């Protein structure tokens, strides 16, 4: 698997796997990023691609010093399972 990249032109994080593209769409407002929708192609389902995408994106959010609004249910659930990322959530 390749690394998660931030495609700023399309406001999404991307993870290319086996010729398919998983994406995490976001909206950036100042220093707050809202994760709106996670899209993992059905060909990649059940392989942990969504989790790798979210973790890679959140690592970049942390490195950039941003706060997160996990509007996407997948991201919200992922953070609940990985409480070491809960400090990123905007209060």
**Three-class SS of the chain:** CCCCEEEHHHCEEEEEECCEEEEEEEEEECCEEEEEEEECCHHHCCCCHHHHHHHHHHHHHHHCCCEEEECCHHHHHHHHHCHHHHHHECC
Number of domains in the chain: 1
Domain extent, residue 48, equals 5-88
The CATH code of the domain that includes 77 is: 3.40.630.30
Burial of 3 (C-beta count, 10 Å sphere; 0-12/13-18/19+): exposed
- The confidence score (pLDDT) of residue 61 equals 97
Average pLDDT in the 1-17 region? 91
Q: For the segment 29-83, what is each residue's pLDDT rounded down to a tens digit?
A: 999 999 999 999 999 999 999 999 999 999 999 999 999 999 999 999 999 999 9
């Amino acid at each position: 698997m390749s690394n998660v990249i931030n495609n700023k032109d399309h406001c999404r994080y991307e993870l290319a796997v086996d010729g398919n593209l998983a994406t995490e769409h976001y909206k950036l407002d100042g220093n707050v990023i809202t994760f709106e929708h996670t899209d993992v192609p059905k060909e990649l389902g059940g392989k942990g691609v969504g989790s790798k995408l979210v973790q890679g994106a959140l690592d970049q959010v942390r490195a950039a010093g941003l706060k997160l609004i996990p509007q996407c249910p997948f991201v919200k659930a992922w953070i609940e399972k990985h409480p070491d990322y809960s400090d990123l959530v905007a209060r």
